[in-house]
């Protein structure tokens, strides 16, 4: 059962990334500010940690979502693990998806299944109020799987090079 819990987030990320890539390939007439140049972001002392702590890693989740909300798409994508964004085309796909949020307001972030946390992995339940752009309705997954209004997602964090990064965004734990 534990391996299934690990498999679902990975499959979810793959489905969303594939859909976003297909959207950019199938609909080239759409105008997005592409390519997105991704700056090198250096970890700060607040980001680097050797043991999981809710306040530190929870801040990563909040910052990640704040970047999306504030249209700092490149910064949000840079906060994802290399497993999730292994190449430029995948980064572009995630960028297109994040750009489709017209509004994203986080209403709560809470630890999810802390008994399963490790020194290199954690998850958080996030409740957010979103509004997607009208254009995202015609995406490969309409609205990229979000509905206008309240949405609940589970965000998984993994340590990569000693830094907490987003490893998955899922509809269940």
Domains parsed from the chain with CATH numbers: 2-170 (3.10.450.100)
CA–CA separation, 75 and 73 (whole Å): 5
Output the average pLDDT for the chain: 80
Does residue 5 surpass a pLDDT of 60? no
Quickly list DSSP for 75-89: HHHHTB-TTTS-SHH
Does residue 107 surpass a pLDDT of 80? yes
Phi-psi region at 136: left, alpha or beta (left = phi > 0; alpha = psi -120 to 50): alpha
- The pTM score is 0.69
Encoded tokens for 20: 């976003």
pLDDT (0 to 100) of residue 142: 94
Kindly list the strands in the beta sheet with 149-160, ordered across the sheet, starting from the edge strand earlier in the chain. Answer: 101-111, 121-132, 149-160, 163-170
Q: What is the pLDDT of residues 60-105, one digit of tens each?
A: 999 999 999 999 999 999 999 999 999 999 999 999 999 999 999 9
Q: What percent of the chain has pLDDT over 90?
A: 64
Q: Which residue has the tokens 């509809």?
A: 171
């Amino acid at each position: 059962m534990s391996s299934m819990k690990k498999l679902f987030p990975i499959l979810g990320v793959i489905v969303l990334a594939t859909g976003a890539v297909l959207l950019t390939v199938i609909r080239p007439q759409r105008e997005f500010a592409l390519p997105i140049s991704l700056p090198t972001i250096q970890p700060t002392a607040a980001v680097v940690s050797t043991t999981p702590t809710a306040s530190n890693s929870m801040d990563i989740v909040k910052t990640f979502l704040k970047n999306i909300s504030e249209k700092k798409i490149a910064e949000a994508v840079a906060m994802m693990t290399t497993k999730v964004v292994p190449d430029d085309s995948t980064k572009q796909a995630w960028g297109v998806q994040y750009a489709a949020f017209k509004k994203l307001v986080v209403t709560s972030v809470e630890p999810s299944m802390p008994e399963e946390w490790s020194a290199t992995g954690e998850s958080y339940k996030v409740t957010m109020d979103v509004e997607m752009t009208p254009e995202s309705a015609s995406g490969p997954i309409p609205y990229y799987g979000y509905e206008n209004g309240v949405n609940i997602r589970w965000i998984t964090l993994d340590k990569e090079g000693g830094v907490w990064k987003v490893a998955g965004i899922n509809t269940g734990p």
